[in-house]
Chains A and B, each alone.
Chain A
Amino acid sequence: MNHEEKFTKLGKISKLYLFFLKKLVVFKFLFRKLNWVLIYGPPRTGTTLLSEIASFESKFMIVDIGLQLMRVFPENSKWPSSSRSSLYNLVYLNLLKNSHEGTWFCLNRFNRPYDFVLKQAALRIKDYNYLVKIFGPPSKIYFCIREPSAYRISHLKKFSQPSHIEDDYLRSLKAYEKIGGTVVDYSCGYSLEDYEIIMFGQRKSLPLEVSHKHYKLKESNLTRVYENFKTKNFDFFASP
């Protein structure tokens, strides 16, 4: 069942409940009291999987909106910072007002402590700063990472843009230095239960399948960067 089908299958009461939740979240936005989760990292490193799992405890979900695209025109046209801020505020409010219900909304759970999960692959530091300025600091931050040879193959398969492979990886590692958060290594081959324990501290038995593809390890420029990152940030790596 895809996401659209799940939404159309919501009954009238669920839709009404959803409407009130949305109003509540927008009201909380007004007072900068949002309780939200940020998931970021290079693309193809398990960010989508993690956001799906995290949305079990959240009311809404905002996924890969390409925040950096919004900034290109105002920055190139040298808009004054006040005009840029006005636009960004309106865009973020628009995103919040139109955000999806969490993936597991159809399960009719009422315990949803987080207002929304925002997942953005290859998040830029500038966009993070705007997010914090507008939504307030996130309650939880997860950074996804993956062993470079598997990452490289997966990236190439999905985007067919070899020139972006290293850029996306290195940019994300650089962003981590500023943003921080719990590191989740996709290469560890965690099971769904492991992810649940990492994220919720207990098993939730989500109806979700987690499968990992195994790739042959191949040394590259990124391998050393990845190893250094692991050594440097060992304490922040999540383990079930």
Chain B
Amino acid sequence: MKTLRQRISIFLPHRKVKPKSWILTYGLPYIGVDVLSFALNNSSTHIVKGNGIFMAFGFPPQFNYIKFNKMQYRQNLIDILLLSKCSKKQLKKTLILQDHFLTKDVFDFLVYYWGFPQNKYSISCDFEYFKLKYYQRHKNPSILDCKRIYQHSMEMINEKSNENLHIKNSFKICELENYLNMDLSKIIPFKACQNVFDT
């Protein structure tokens, strides 16, 4: 904020950035939420990864001595997230918001701000399979961290368990096709019956 003009600009009412419509993808990290979002993506959609918005929603800590307009802050946060990840053209498309660590707090706010999503998709798996994937990804894995991530991500999935795709270690692409009710052979260049989440 070097110039007075820049300073004045922060006082001016900000343009609210709302997608025309949006689709939510969430679920455990490392097991294929990216593939899920990718499968849904086409020329009329745009993917925005908001993994871990809940961390920003934890600011400021909840103490009665802190006075802060939380709603304003959250609106600013979501607006700036979209502006930083989408061009003007992309904002006119259907947004696919992907968040591995979705919490109820974040979901409720998005519904309040953007309205209900067109669709919600999530992926989960058993802890043993998740542990395997977690250990493959991390250089310094810790079982406590692994459990913490699993429990955190599963909280929201458990709440909406009827919308969820629960995979095992022998997942097949046809399962994803059934779940999404789509033909993925042209979208995902993987061989049928391959474990897409292990590629």
Q: Do A and B interact with each other, yes or no?
A: yes
Q: Known A97-B69, A100-B67; judge A69-B11 contact (CB<8 A).
A: no
Instruction: Convert A136-167 into 0s and 1s, putting 1 for each residue whose CB lies closer than 8 angstroms to a CB of B.
Output: 00000000000000000000000000000000
Expressed in whole angstroms, the Cα–Cα distance for A32 and B3 within the complex equals 10
Expressed in whole angstroms, the Cα–Cα distance for A9 and B63 within the complex equals 21
Question: Which residues on the B side are within 8 Å of A97 (C-beta)?
Answer: 69
Question: Which residues on the A side are within 8 Å of B11 (C-beta)?
Answer: 30, 93
- Contact of B67 with A31 in the complex, beta carbons under 8 Å: no
Expressed in whole angstroms, the Cα–Cα distance for A134 and B6 within the complex equals 11
B60 (CB) vs chain A CBs: closest residue: A65
List chain B positions with a Cβ less than 8 A from chain A.
1, 4, 7-8, 10-11, 14, 49-53, 55-56, 58-61, 63-69, 72-73, 76-77, 80-81, 83-84
User: Can you list 27 A-B contacts with CB-CB less than 8 angstroms, sorted by A residue number?
Assistant: A3-B64, A30-B4, A30-B8, A30-B11, A64-B61, A64-B63, A64-B66, A65-B59, A65-B61, A66-B59, A69-B58, A69-B60, A69-B61, A70-B56, A70-B60, A77-B49, A77-B81, A83-B83, A86-B10, A86-B80, A90-B14, A90-B72, A91-B59, A91-B76, A95-B68, A98-B69, A99-B67
- Contact of B73 with A79 in the complex, beta carbons under 8 Å: no
Expressed in whole angstroms, the Cα–Cα distance for A97 and B80 within the complex equals 20
B63 (CB) vs chain A CBs: closest residue: A64
Q: Known A87-B76, A100-B65; judge A69-B8 contact (CB<8 A).
A: no
Expressed in whole angstroms, the Cα–Cα distance for A86 and B67 within the complex equals 21
- Contact of B4 with A31 in the complex, beta carbons under 8 Å: yes
Q: Known A98-B67, A100-B67; judge A73-B84 contact (CB<8 A).
A: no
Pick from B8, B56, B69: contact of A73, CB under 8 Å: B56
Question: Which residues on the A side are within 8 Å of B73 (C-beta)?
Answer: 90-91, 94
**Besides the known contacts A77-B49, A77-B81, 17 further A-B residue pairs in the complex with CB atoms under 8 A apart:** A3-B65, A30-B8, A30-B11, A31-B4, A64-B61, A65-B59, A69-B61, A70-B59, A72-B55, A73-B56, A76-B52, A77-B52, A87-B77, A91-B59, A93-B10, A94-B73, A99-B67
Shortest CB-to-CB span from A29 to chain B, Å, is 8
List chain A positions with a Cβ less than 8 A from chain B.
3-4, 29-32, 63-66, 69-70, 72-74, 76-77, 79-80, 83, 85-87, 89-91, 93-95, 97-100, 133-134
Expressed in whole angstroms, the Cα–Cα distance for A30 and B4 within the complex equals 7
Counting from the closest, the 9 A-B pairs by CB-CB distance are: A73-B56, A83-B84, A69-B59, A98-B67, A70-B59, A65-B60, A73-B55, A90-B76, A72-B55
Expressed in whole angstroms, the Cα–Cα distance for A41 and B182 within the complex equals 57
